[in-house]
Chains A and B, each alone.
Chain A
Amino acid sequence: MDIDLNTKYRITDDVVAREIEGELIIVPLTSGIGDLEDELFTLNETGRSIWAKLDGSHTLKQVIESLNQDFQDSSGSVEGDVVGFVKELIRMKMVITASDE
């Protein structure tokens, strides 16, 4: 699956994110989210920071730049994290391109 850095991605309306006891819990709303039925998901710290920026109004390149600034990181590792994370979320049907409705 190719990820285009000039594309805007957003979280689908088919999941609801809940902050519970300091964890971000992703609750699937419709069937077919994730690999198994009946699962909830939680994100690690990196995941949470990326998730918060996938709002459909910024390209992935802009998301990466913004995270580089937040983390004051110029090593290039953020790009790998973001691309890997977005791929994972697309496969699990939690993220779509902003033009998909």
Chain B
Amino acid sequence: MKTTQQIHEYHLWNKLSKHRSLVSFNIELTARCNNNCHHCYINLPAGDTRAIEKELSRLEINRIADEAVELGALWCLLTGGEPLLRNDFSQIYLDLKKKGLLVSVFTNATLINTEIVQLFKQYPPRAVEVSVYGITAETYEEVTRKQGTFIAFQNGLKLLLDAGIKVRFKAMSLKSNYHEMQRIAEFCRSRSDDVFRFDPFLHLRYDLNEKRNKEIITQRLTPSQIIALERSDIERTDSVKKLCNQQQNATENTTASNLIFNCGIGKHDFTLGWDGTFRLCSALQHPECVYDLRKGNLKDAWLNFAPKVLNMRREPNSIDDCYNCRLVNLCSWCPAHSYLENGSLVTPIKDFCESAHARNKAFGVIDHQTSEHEEI
């Protein structure tokens, strides 16, 4: 019998996800970014001194990550803002790897240089996920609103790919790059075998900045633009059709109780905010759902605070629309985004709602007709 066995991540994940236990966490290393994307929900200016002062130090990150490891976490995602903006990124990355964590990194790739590539080659990340805002300088910089960022993105990406670092791509679809989305998808799929995903649901800002929120709303695609985009992409069409077919299940799950959170948050992961906040998911900013890890500790947050949040309930016998809605899988609605949009955890999100109905009309009905037809 072999003494050493290879073990796949999904085997471990399955084993760990049978009961509530910490298995992964995200760290927002900073809320700052060198880009200034129209649609971004977390980007303070790169040189924002007040933000820099509030950022967790390397020491604080290590203390919290040690606790996470002690609680059993195995996966860790470094995100931002732009995580590579931090001067101590490499040290923090290595600290986390040395704890036996499987570390992934989200980046816009503009700050990737030979030292970072060397680090990733020697100490491989589980994945590097790169956001692609356009594949021409014009479109890319229309989104990022910073000159020279397209060249920086191209150079950074080339360094990663030439070094054989595993890259996964993602894109947000907004008015500024809508016309280029198909070419963005082709660009990404031709450079990575990993799944490419694009998201047309632009979320509002974590800092609730009203002026920036207005900009985000103006950048949202209309329902018909979303449908056209999804129709033009076979992979996307298939996945939306699948979501349409899962409608009934969603209803059964969400009406089962008066719990506010039915989405599985807080069972296996959490987000460590750039300023030391503990959140059950990155978007959940409601003050009653946030714990300050600078004043407490992770064990207390995970074992005592989180269960209280997970047990928050709606008004008895309330019939909140989204909790009884068959389209919840199609609209990206959740209590966290409801709070960012409406200041309440349980209210529909108008723009998402319209898009969900349009998607159902476009893909749900077609799919049912097709399957009936096939059965004959």
List the interface of chain A (C-beta within 8 A of B): 16-18, 20-21, 23, 25-27, 29-31, 34-44, 46-47, 50, 81, 84-85, 88-89, 92
Contacts and interface: CB of A to CB of B under 8 A. Distances in A.
Nearest to A86: B3
A40 B6 contact: yes
Interface in B64-83: 69, 72, 74
A84 B3 contact: yes
Interface string B1-39: 111111111001001100001000000000000000000
Contacts of B122: 30-31
B123 A25 contact: no
Contact of B5 (A38, A41, A84, A89): A41
A15 B231 CA distance: 46
State which size class the interface on B falls in: 20 to 34
Interface of B: 1-9, 12, 15-16, 21, 69, 72, 74, 97-102, 121-124, 126
Nearest to B126: A38
B3 A85 contact: yes
Given A29-B97, A30-B123, A31-B124, A20 B3 contact: no
Contacts of A46: 3
Given A20-B12, A25-B12, 4 more contacts: A30-B122, A39-B8, A40-B6, A40-B7
A41 B72 CA distance: 16
B3 A37 contact: no
B253 to A, nearest CB: 26
B4 A43 contact: yes
A13 B41 CA distance: 40
A70 to B, nearest CB: 16
B4 A92 contact: yes
